[in-house]
Chains A and B, each alone.
Chain A
Amino acid sequence: MVKVGSAFPITMGIQALDSVLIYQEGFSALTGYLLPLLLYGISGLGLAYILLMKEIMD
Chain B
Amino acid sequence: MLLNEKTYRIRSLYNSLANVAQKGSELHEKLKRTDIKLQEMQELMGNYTFEISNIRENISNIETTTVILDQVKVRSAGVSTRMDNLSTEMTNSTQDLISEIDRTKGILGEVRIKSPAAIAAPIKLERNPVFRDMTYLDFLMPAIVSIVLMFISFLLSSITIVQERTKKTLLRTLLTPLSLEEFIFAKTSALILIAMLQGIILVVVAFLFYGVLIPANQLGLLFLVILVYSAAFIGIGMAVATFAESENTAMLSSLVLSIPMLFLCGVFSRLRLCRN
Contact = CB atoms under 8 A, between A and B. Distances in A.
Interface of A: 1-2, 4-6, 8-14, 16-18, 20-22, 24, 26-27, 30, 33-34, 37-38, 40-49, 51-53, 55-56
Contacts of B127: none
Given A4-B264, A33-B225, A45-B235, 7 more contacts: A9-B150, A11-B265, A17-B146, A45-B238, A48-B239, A51-B242, A52-B161
A11 to B, nearest CB: 4
Interface stretch (B3-11, B40-48, B137-145): B137-145
Contact of A22 (B142, B242, B262, B265): B142
Interface stretch (B30-38, B99-107, B112-120, B266-274): B266-274
A33 B142 CA distance: 14
Contacts of B165: 55
B131 to A, nearest CB: 7
A9 B180 contact: no
A41 B215 contact: no
Contacts of A18: 142
Contacts, number: 146
B218 A21 contact: yes
Contact of B184 (A22, A49, A56): A49
Measured as residues with beta carbon below 8 angstroms from the partner, the interface class of chain B is 35 or more
B69 interface: no
A41 B231 contact: yes
Contacts of A13: 146, 149-150, 225, 229, 232
Residue from B139, B150, B188, B264 having most chain A Cβ neighbours under 10 A:
B264
B184 A30 contact: no
B229 A9 contact: yes
Contacts of B131: 22
B238 A48 contact: yes
